[in-house]
Amino acid sequence: MQVIEFIIREKLGKSSKQLLNEGLIPAVVYNAKTESTPIQVSEKLVHTLLKTATSTTIIDATVGDKKMKVVLKGVERNPLTDTVRHLSFFQIDESAPMHFTIPFNIIGVSPAVKNNLGILVKALAGLNVRCRLADLIPQIDIDVSELEHPGQSISVSDLKLPEGITLPNDEQAHSAIVTITELQKVEEVKPVTTEETTAEGEASAEQPATEEATEAKE
């Protein structure tokens, strides 16, 4: 990804609506020292970022004369129009371990799904980890080709994480990433025939014969 230019937001009193009318979106860059810099980003650039950047995408940026590496941490949208209202970027300290969320990438085909024995359910979208920038990987592949029966699953404890990547806590280790659940059987509902319905059917069937008999007598 090319180096992007963050413009320092001088007029903090400007509303988001004013900036949006100018084709700009308010944002902020913060770091581990809780220091923050208000910036503004072109709307066109934001649309490009949202299409290509994930929580682990390292973005080379400049703020004035200062170069930095950042990750996109937060996107605030208008709940009615879904337009972007604000962005948050986190400046990376390349020498220190940080918290990242690495997305899972499902590979292979589960025999249970292929043979219509069950449904693959993805329970986790990504894994929260702690590592230095140099050890960060873009994704974790999850091979589901050995899931043959309903009830089988792959958990975080089944993963072999690369050297330098650790879990920030042990609670995640017991979490399921994917699991195979049984197919729900759909029972066919048959119409119920009651005695009343049967009696009405017989009566209507006999009615024409009664009328014919009456005409014959006349």
Q: Are residues 75 and 123 in the same domain?
A: no
pLDDT of residue 218: 47
pLDDT in tens, 3-21: 888 888 876 665 667 777 7
Question: Residue 53: inside a domain, yes or no?
Answer: yes
Provide the CATH number for the domain around residue 125. 2.170.120.20
Q: What is the pTM assigned to this prediction?
A: 0.60
pLDDT of residue 11: 65
Domain count of the fold of the chain:
2
Final residue before a domain boundary, out of 59, 91, 123 = 91
Question: Residue 107: inside a domain, yes or no?
Answer: yes
Question: Residue 17: inside a domain, yes or no?
Answer: yes
Low-confidence ranges of the chain (pLDDT < 50): 198-200, 202-218
pLDDT of residue 204: 45
Final residue before a domain boundary, out of 70, 91, 112 = 91
Q: Are residues 36 and 76 in the same domain?
A: yes
pLDDT in tens, 78-103: 899 888 889 999 998 888 898 889 99
Which residue in this structure is represented by tokens 């986190």?
90
> What is the distance between the alpha carbons of residues 193 and 46, in angstroms, rounded to a whole number?
64
Q: Are residues 79 and 110 in the same domain?
A: no
Structural domain span for residue 55:
4-91
